[in-house]
Structure 1
Amino acid sequence: MNAPQQLRRRLQRAWYRRRLRDPAYRFLLGDASPEQAVAIDCETTSLDAAACELIAVAAIPIEGDRLLMHSALELLIKPQTAMRTDAIAIHQLRAMDVAKGQNIDDALCALLEFIGPRPLVGYYIDFDLSVLNRYVRPILGIPLPNPTIDVSGMYFDRKIGRIPQRPVNLGFDHMLRELQLPVFRQHDPFNDALMAALCYVKLRHIRRL
């Protein structure tokens, strides 16, 4: 992170501290080790980030080049509305699968405690953040303050220097295969978090593809 980015980050955190509604969550604005991050993925009742409900979250801690699989968090959440069939076809979670899930308040509390101030890593993570922030803002008074890292952006940055005039294929399968990483079934929250974590760890050590 360069000097202007560091200044912007400090100013943003100061603003978040003033706006934080519940001081019990001040730990989210602490300092994380530069070697730590959390890979995260969410599944929802529909594909509409502005209206869907959260039904599953997986989060895997990263420390340096190690994935702390034994410490991973997996949450199922019982929604209040019916799931759309197009979403079920993608993530294959049915109403009966999430019927015994946690309520959203308990799940959010567990998730926030788990991630702490660590950066969040994901594949096209903006969708996940949009959904999570709809739940988080009423509690915190602010969006999730964590730095975010999108592995598709990391991949693009390393690819574009070599082929600046050509479109870059950012498909998850394509990225994983080019990076010689395993491809698991997608739209399973744990698998997607795991694959994002693997991409992140490998891309950290690659300057150009």
Structure 2
Amino acid sequence: MYSFGKTGTHSKTPARLTRPEFGYLFAPPPADEWVCLDLEMTGLNPKTDHILSLGAVKISRTHGTFSIDTANALSIICKPPIMPATDTIVIHGLRPMDVADGVSYDEMLAQLLPFLGARPIVGFYTQMDLAFLNALAKPFLGAALPNAAIDVSLLDQKLRKQQNRNPDAPIDRRHLHEMLKTERIPALPAHDSLNDALMTAMLFCQLQHELQAS
């Protein structure tokens, strides 16, 4: 585990839920627990593009100390309905042969949803990842995921506003790798959703620590 020194919503279970065994998703979120999630997709449009891989790690805070559970991380390669075009390999690093033996989206959700539980989801531009997941979750569950979303780029923006002597000055959102460099978090190999989830989780812990200290 990585440790660093010293947010969630609750929805009622919808009546239209078609898989009641996943009703725990709608329970109150556990205190001081999160899941950091990253997806690799064929593109940026959840209506026309597809998820290729998923990486996720759990984060917890005990007595003010953040920990990332790397020993029980989730890493899944999916088999999309359409194989990725070869010219997109430079973006996600996955070849058709890499995803040909991947799991179905239903199997991916069957593994991911218990991992998530009711925990808030941490990520970089989380709304994009949730748009892709909900395109699958809605027909699978009968409802969208109720988990709260925490975007590290917004945490970074909040921290820099607090540190800025001019609180009215505009603060732009930064790219993940720019934030990692600023916080001196090591860069892991690219084109790997689990590596991105780990780096984002470390960034989340560091930003939360600095926000608490500021």
In structure 2, runs of 5+ residues without a counterpart are: 1-6
Amino acid corresponding to residue 52 of structure 2 in structure 1: I
Aligned twin of 2:175: 171
Q: Return the offset for 1:29.
A: 1.2
Distance in 2, matches of 1:151 and 1:92, equals 24
* TM-score, L = length of structure 1: 0.87
Amino acid corresponding to residue 168 of structure 1 in structure 2: D
Indicate the structure with greater helix content: 1
Is 2:210 aligned against 1:206? yes
Distance in 2, matches of 1:95 and 1:78, equals 9
Is 2:75 aligned against 1:71? no
Q: Return the offset for 1:20.
A: 2.1
Distance in 1, matches of 2:145 and 2:87, equals 28
Is 2:199 aligned against 1:195? yes
Aligned length: 200
Distance in 1, matches of 2:38 and 2:84, equals 18
Distance in 1, matches of 2:88 and 2:174, equals 22
Alignment of 1:116-195 (within 5 A): 116-161=117-162, 162=164, 164-168=168-172, 170-195=174-199
Cα RMSD of the aligned pairs, angstroms, is 2.0
Per mean C-alpha deviation after superposition, the further-off stretch among 115-124 and 29-38 is: 29-38
2:53 to 38, 53, 56: 56
Q: Return the offset for 1:166.
A: 4.2
* TM-score, L = length of structure 2: 0.86
CA contact (8 A) 1:50 1:130 kept: no
Q: Return the offset for 1:72.
A: 0.3
1:21 to 18, 21, 40: 18
**CA displacement 1:13-32 (0-9 Å, x = unmatched):** 12x43332221110111233
Amino acid corresponding to residue 98 of structure 2 in structure 1: D
Distance in 2, matches of 1:178 and 1:51, equals 35
CA contact (8 A) 2:160 2:171 kept: no
Q: Return the offset for 1:86.
A: 4.6
Taking only the aligned residue pairs, the percentage that are identical comes to 32
Aligned twin of 2:32: 35
Distance in 2, matches of 1:29 and 1:117, equals 6
CA contact (8 A) 2:106 2:140 kept: no
Indicate the structure with greater strand content: 2
Q: Return the offset for 1:137.
A: 0.4
Amino acid corresponding to residue 58 of structure 1 in structure 2: G
Amino acid corresponding to residue 181 of structure 1 in structure 2: I
In structure 1, runs of 5+ residues without a counterpart are: none
Distance in 2, matches of 1:187 and 1:206, equals 28
Taking a change above 3 Å as real, the CA distance of residues 127 and 87 of structure 1, as seen in their structure-2 partners, is: farther
